Amino acid sequence: MTDQFTIQQMRQDIADMIYVDPEEIGKNDNLMDLGLDSMRAMNLVLLWQQRNIHLNFAELATSLTLAHWWDIAAAKMSTPAKV
């Protein structure tokens, strides 16, 4: 499923987890400020692992923005990071 995983899908998954409209999540917004906590972040990691996107919490915790998370995911999928 990695070929269908996009930054829009990542944004939607995060939005679903914190109960906000995806359009409310800017690429450089701090996701913790928007309501993401460590448990929800772990749930996102598990969701993405089920989709064969192998991210880990420690990588994501270094910067809590959509842009940073997408850069990590895109690198793991060997696709250009387009934000």
The answer as to whether 83 is a domain residue is no
C-alpha 71: how far from chain center: 10
Total number of domains in the chain: 1
Q: What is the dihedral of CA 46, 50, 56, 62, to 10 degrees?
A: -80
Report which of 57, 61, 56, 67 is spatially closest to residue 11, judged by C-alpha positions.
67
Contact 15, 66 (CB under 8 A): no
The answer as to whether 54 is a domain residue is yes
For residue range 35-80, what is the model confidence (pLDDT) as tens digits? 999 999 999 999 999 999 999 999 999 999 999 999 999 998 875 5
Residue 16 has pLDDT above 70, yes or no: yes
User: Rounded to a whole number, what is the distance in angstroms from the first to the last CA of the chain?
Assistant: 20
Range of the domain at 60: 2-76
